[in-house]
Amino acid sequence: MNKEKIEVAGATVDFYKYKDGDVEVYEFDTSRCGPPEPMVNAMAGLKLIDGPNKKLVMINHKKPMGLLDKIGANFNIADKKLDDGRVALEFTYKDGESEKANLNDASCGG
């Protein structure tokens, strides 16, 4: 897998892009960041998910409940616990809903 570092507007951590079959994957790691950085970077990354062939992978130290509460209805979200205790969340496009997400509000609210 060949990961390419990319620039993402508004991001405070490195983002990477790679292909997984026909899917373009964007990935970032905020597991060493404190609030509001996970939310800020997730909102920046979610702006890239504008169709069914794109996916955002967020690596974090725990499940970001404030983020999930904010955009959970707008994206398909799968999570898995990594061997080192961190969590990986996969956000994919939800037809008719992803377009409605307010991705400009990166406040944590919690």
What is the CATH code of the structural domain delimited by 4-94? 3.40.630
Is the per-residue pLDDT at 70 higher than 90?
yes
DSSP letters of 87-105? EEEEEEE-TTTGGG--TT-
Quick count: other Cβ atoms within 10 Å of Cβ 8? 18
* pLDDT digits 0-9 by tens, 15-60: 999 999 999 999 999 999 999 999 999 999 999 999 999 999 999 9
pTM: 0.95
Cα separation, 80 vs 94, whole angstroms:
19
